[in-house]
Amino acid sequence: MYRIGELSKLANISPRTIDYYTSLGLIEPAERSAKNYRLYAHETLLRLERIEQMKKDKYTLDEIKATLESWSKITPEEQVSRKLTDLQLHLSQLEREVKELEPVIKNLKPRQANRLYTRLMPQTAACIEALMLLINKSSLM
């Protein structure tokens, strides 16, 4: 359990923002301490991370609240199913982007391509390889 100050540091947001989110009903304390401090569960930290990500994605606080409320109404199986659907949509978007880059990469001279690949982080190169395998293309690297 976290007090507001601890939660604030872990989530990298101000205690005032946590108070505001609590007043809006976006988060709620799990319990009160003997000294009447609000205590928040670890799940609240995860919820704050979701809220901050949705804010970065330009959702309004009302939209975030509605989304979080709808998530709490679905079963874990539905959550997994929705997440898999979201991942499939994201994979489709990545596939389109890879297909757009493919002609550009094919037209690079060998030294240009080599220089490009050496600048990639290993995780990025592995991700590109995996995408190419998923869309049944031959390896570019």
- The CB density around residue 44, as the number of other CB atoms within 10 Å, is 23
- Helix 42-56 and helix 61-72, axial crossing angle in degrees, nearest 10: 130
CB 40 within 8 A of CB 2: yes
CB 63 within 8 A of CB 102: no
Pick the more confident residue, 69 or 13: 13
Residue 59 in 3-state DSSP? Answer: coil
Specify the DSSP class assigned to residue 25. T
- 1.10.1660.10, 2.30.30.100, 2.30.31.70, 1.10.1740.10: CATH of 2-73: 1.10.1660.10
Q: For the whole model, what pTM was predicted?
A: 0.50
pLDDT score for 14: 94
Does the structure show a pLDDT above 90 at 17? Answer: yes
Residue with tokens 């101000």: 14
- The CB density around residue 26, as the number of other CB atoms within 10 Å, is 20
List the beta bridge partners of residue 32. 38
Helix (H) or strand (E) holding 117: helix 110-119
pLDDT in tens, 53-87: 999 988 899 999 988 887 777 777 877 888 888 88
Nearest-angstrom CA–CA distance, 68 and 134: 32
Name the pLDDT band for 100 (thresholds 50, 70, 90).
confident
Residue with tokens 């975030």: 64
Does the structure show a pLDDT above 50 at 108? Answer: yes
Buried b (16+ CB within 10 A) or exposed e, 117-139: eeeeeeeeeeebeebbeeeeeee
Would you kindly state where each structural domain of the chain is located, as residue ranges?
2-73, 76-139
